[in-house]
Structure formats: C-alpha cells, structure tokens
Amino acid sequence: MINIFEVNETNDMIEKENLDVRTITLGISLLDCCSEDVDKTCDKIYEKITHKAEKLVSVGEDISHEFGIPIVNKRISVTPVSLIGASSCRSTDDFVKIAKTLDRAASTVGINFLGGYSALVSKGMTSADEMLIRSIPEALSTTNLVCSSVNLGSTKTGINMDAVRLMGEIIKETAEKTRDNDSIGCAKLVVFCNAPDDNPFMAGAFHGVTEADSIINVGVSGPGVVKYALEKVRGESFEVLCETIKKTAFKVTRVGQLVAREASNMLGVPFGIVDLSLAPTPAIGDSVADILCEIGLEHAGAPGTTAALALLNDQVKKGGVMASSYVGGLSGAFIPVSEDQGMIDAVNAGALTLEKLEAMTCVCSVGLDMIAIPGDTKATTISGIIADEMAIGMVNQKTTAVRLIPVIGKGVGEKAEFGGLLGYAPIMPVNGFSCDAFVNRTGRIPAPIHSFKN
Amino acid sequence: MKKTIITVVGKDTVGIIAKTCTYLADNNINILDISQTIVSDYFNMMMIVDMNKATKKFGVVADELEELGKSIGVIIKCQQEDIFNSMHRI
C-alpha cells in the first residue's frame, strides 16, 4: 500500500517543484475534409475539429482535478494543411481562409494552440506546398492560435535548399507583419529536419499522415523536479548523478502515461505516445539551464555544457522509456532561450552564444529554439543558420528545428517581450559574415551516406 | 476497488482529524487507513478511503474538503490513488 512519504514526495513535486503535464494534444486527421471548393473544405474542417475536440478541455480539467496534477495546455494538431488545401486552394488567400477557420475552431473548443498549418517539403515542393509557405506571414499575423511548421529536410532525402532559402524570407516577412508585437508571429513558426509525426509540443505539432483518424499524445515536463533531485546528490559521482536523473524521469513520465491513458479512455480516442521532454517555462525553478548548473556549470554555455546536456538527455530517455508503453514525439531536453530563465541569465552573462546553442542541439532534442536575433538580420543569413541546423539533424539522424525571431526595430542589447509561456528574450548577436552565394544556389543537398560513420 | 488518497497538511490544531472524519462519515466515505506524522511542527496526515458508496461525486467531495480545510486553516487534497501507484510502483 502507498505510504505517507511517497504521497508527500509526489505532492511536493507538484506543489514545490513545478511538476505538471505540459500538454494533452489531440491529433485530428483532416484528410476527409478535402474538397474542390475552399469554403466547403473550411466548413468540413470546422465541423470535424469542433466535433472531435468538443470535450478535450473539460476532460483535461477533470483529469487534473482527479489526480491533483496541473495539465497546463490542451491543444490540437491537424494534418499538414498543404495537403488538405491542395485540391481547393488556388491562391495564398485561400490558404489564409483555412488558417482563419482553424483559429475559429480552436477558440470555439477553448484550446490554447492548434498546430498543423504545415508543409512537408524535405525533397520538393508542390505548388500547394509553396502557396501555403507563402501564405504563412499573412496567416500567422491574422490568427492567434494557429501554429505553423515546415519540414525542410530529412536523413533519407537530404535538405531542400530552395525551401530553406524561401523560409529565410518568410521568417523575415512574418517578423515584419507582426513588428508591433516584437515580431511574435515568428514564435509560432518553426522549421524542421526529420519532423516527427506525433509531436504534441508547439509550434511544431502536426498530425502525420501515417497516424490514425484521431489520437491522444501527451507531453510531460518537470525540469524543476530533476533539479531538486540533483540538489540532494551534489558532489557525487557520475553514476549517482545519472541514476538520480533516470529515476526522476521515470516518475515524471509515469504521470504522463497515466494522464494519457485516462484522457484516451474518457475521450474514446486511442492513446498515441508520451513525449518524454524536459520542457522549461519562464517560471523560476522550471529551467533546463538550472539543471545544467546543478550538474556543475557556472552558467549554461560554459565549457562542459554539451557533455552535461548529452548526459541529461540520455538519462531522461533511459528513465522515461521504461515508464511509458509508447514513447514518441521529440523526447529530450528542450533548450528554448526565451522560455527558460536560466538560459536568459546565461545569455545576459555572456556565457551562451548562438554558436554554443548550435553545438548543444547536436545532443538534445529540437534545436535553435525561441532565439531573438536583430531585426536587420538578412534573410539569407537566417537561411544559412537554418541550413546549418538542418545539416546537424540530417547527418545525426535526429530531429532538429529552428525557431528564430528577428525582432524588427530592435538590436543586440535590447530585449523582446512575448508574454505568457513564450516569455521574453535578450536579442543575441548573429555572425555577420555573408553566406549569400551559398544560400542562393538552387536545388537540394543530397542525402548523406549511412555508412563509414565517423 | 478504486481508492482515494486524502492528505491534510497544515499547522497543528485541535480537531483536524475529527472534523475531516465527520465530513467523510456524513458522506458515506469509508476510511481504510490513516497515517500521520508531524514534520517540523506541521501536521501531516494521509488517509486512504473508499469512495465507491459516497453520496456525492468525486469532484464535489474534493472541492468541499478543500473548503473544509480552509475553515480549519489546513490544506486538504483529495486525489485518486492511481497517480501515486503509477509513480512509486512498477
């Protein structure tokens, strides 16, 4: 039988260490909403989402009440819209119409983000893909809850450099269109290499075409819990350090698994995966950077950071994998700058640079995330940064992503305020040397060889 | 049988157990086990209860217990046992 110490440990994690379920994401396939007329498509989309997700928010709240654990976000991911709109959209305006429908459906069901305004163009773009991409700035500046993602490359196909070049321009344009709010549109736009089909986290969530009609994916979190556990083993060996992270990750993930199962039962929707991620928030004590400091670094970004992060990421996976029957999504430590107070402090202290962040993304999930850069950064430079990050994902057979925010009208030393879960970010300097001639080449980078690993 | 865990944490005072147990009895909730400690002057109690024959719904009981806690000056939480089992048992 459960004893009082175990009960207290769990409740301390929830009350003092910020343990929460970060998101319950309901994946909904919109493939059956395709039609030849965009208005008809929009009607079908609205109907399907509001029907399928009718109870999502209330079920989330019921589960939260029953177990006494906060469930921070309830979200929806849908089939990449470039596929859904391909047969009916004749212009970028038609795609924006779908974005507005998604936004309306999302606010009707009461969720806080909807992902899937996406295109998968890792090898080539159809005309619908390109149209959707070109509609992103307008779509993100005229909606509130819609998130967009574009998959630009994969280990199997290489990197679509035409799309990389285009995305540099699109990111700049999105920033311009939302310049009054510190270019917040870019916080809802992410580009990927090897994008997973079942990621529950925003902005990159979409419902892959290999998925069932609807599915429940859950993202857990708990950087604070790991940090507090590590405080108790200061100065101990790597063995003790790793065991502690593993055990903590196990406990955190079990909660995610429980919530996912319960949500799946209550909604009558199959359970997909638990995403084992350490996702920070701007709240004090909910920081991945603080874990790195607890492992022994003065600041995130100090020499040793990449090794410490590699260790952390691996132990979280090792502990989490056994705790859940199905693991998927991004599963690893997130290192967004603006959403993590420890990261912000490291940038302000001069310990953390864009280049070091890039190195860190080689060993943890996701990539250059929520990084504010000067508003006058050239589109080609942004494309160059994206290409670098895509190359890391492609060669290392992992998911990498880029979510950069060129804050129009601001420069290094100033800060961008996004508010809420998105936090604020100091604007980081970007290497100013040109990569124009590289980015302006057309075509794609071929897939890498899968032998002779060095 | 689904069990529920009720925890009571707060500054020690007269009648915490009495008031909580009276509420449970009034609502036909059966107490299966009680354990209690004092951690640095703080009263800390855990009850394992059976709510299957309770006269009110889980959500209502949880809310009313929370209110009761406020009136005594302690924090009362009511949670399904599953969250603890999944975290601490393989």
For residues A281-300, give the mean pLDDT: 92
Contact B82 A67 (CB under 8 A): yes
ipTM of the complex: 0.90
Per-residue confidence (pLDDT) for residue A80, from 0 to 100: 97
What does the mean pLDDT of chain A come to?
Answer: 94
Q: State how far residue A256 is from chain B, nearest Cα, in angstroms.
A: 10
Residue with tokens 């590590």: A230
For range A277-298, the mean pLDDT: 91
Is pLDDT above 80 for A399? yes
How close is the nearest chain B Cα to the Cα of A20, in Å? 12
B39: Cβ contacts below 8 Å, ≥ 6 apart: none
Average pLDDT over residues A41-61: 96
As a whole number, mean pLDDT of residues A264-284 equals 91
Shared domain check, A402 and A300: yes
Q: Looking at residue A55, what is its pLDDT?
A: 95
Q: What is the pLDDT of residues A321-338, one digit of tens each?
A: 999 999 998 888 899 999
**Residue A16 covered by a domain:** no
Q: Does some domain include residue A358?
A: yes
| Domain shared by A269 and A395, yes or no | yes
Asked if residue A67 has pLDDT above 90, the reply is yes
- Which of A7, A20, A322, A325 to mutate to test binding with chain B, by most B CBs within 10 Å of its CB? A7
CB contact B82 to A (< 8 Å): yes
Q: Judge if A155 and A237 occupy the same domain.
A: no
- Domain-embedded: residue A400: yes
Tell me, what's the pLDDT at A236?
96
pLDDT, one tens digit per residue, over B70-87 is 999 999 999 999 999 999
Mean pLDDT of all residues in A225-242 = 96
Residue A5 maps to a domain: no
Q: What confidence category does residue A454 fall into, taking pLDDT thresholds of 50, 70 and 90?
A: low
Q: Can you give the pLDDT at residue B90?
A: 85
Owning domain of residue A257: 219-445
Beta-strand ranges (E) seen in A61-172 are 71-78, 113-120, 146-154, 158-160
* Statement to judge: residues A130 and A263 lie in one domain: no
Q: What's the token pair of residue B21?
A: 């147990």
**Residues 6+ away with beta carbon under 8 Å from A165:** A380, A383, A439, A440
Q: Measured between beta carbons, which residues in chain B are less than 8 angstroms from residue A8? A: 7, 44, 46
Q: Among A177, A193, A209, where does a domain finish?
A: A193
A312, A417: one domain: yes
Judging contacts by C-beta atoms under 8 Å, the chain B residues touching residue A258 are: 82-83, 86
Say yes or no: A78 and A177 in one domain.
Answer: yes
Q: Is the pLDDT of residue A419 over 90?
A: no
3-state SS track over chain B: CCEEEEEEEEECCCCHHHHHHHHHHHCCCEEEEEEEEEECCEEEEEEEEECCCCCCCHHHHHHHHHHHHHHHCEEEEEEECHHHHHHHCC
- pLDDT band at residue A127 under the 50/70/90 scheme: very high
Residue A452 lies in a domain: no
Angle at which helix A4-16 crosses helix A223-231, to 10 degrees, equals 120
* pLDDT of amino acid A256: 93
Number of domains in chain A: 2
Among A164-173, A194-203, A418-427, B68-77, the range scoring the smallest mean pLDDT is: A418-427
Q: Residue A359: its pLDDT value, please? A: 96
A158 and A274 housed in the same domain: no
Residues A40 and A188 in one domain: yes
Do residues A316 and A380 share a domain? yes
Q: Which pLDDT score, from 0 to 100, does residue A35 have?
A: 96
pLDDT value of position A226: 94
pTM of the entire predicted model: 0.93
Q: Is the residue at A2 inside a domain?
A: no
Q: Tell me the CATH class for B3-88.
A: alpha beta
Residues A132 and A245 in one domain: no
Tell whether A354 is covered by a domain.
yes
Secondary structure E strands in A103-156: 113-120, 146-154
For range A117-142, the mean pLDDT: 97
CATH of the domain at A276: 3.20.70.20
What's the confidence (pLDDT) of residue A18? 87
Q: Does any domain span residue A206?
A: no
Q: Which of A56-65, A202-211, A362-371 is the least confident region?
A: A362-371
pLDDT at residue A304 above 90?
Answer: yes
Q: How far is B34 from chain A (nearest CA, A)?
A: 9
Q: A265 and A141 share a domain?
A: no
- Name the least confident of A152-161, A382-391, B5-14: B5-14
Whether residue A262 is predicted with pLDDT greater than 80 in this model: the reply is: yes
pLDDT of residue A332: 84
Residues A408 and A292 in one domain: yes
Asked if B55 reaches chain A (Cβ–Cβ under 8 Å), the answer is no
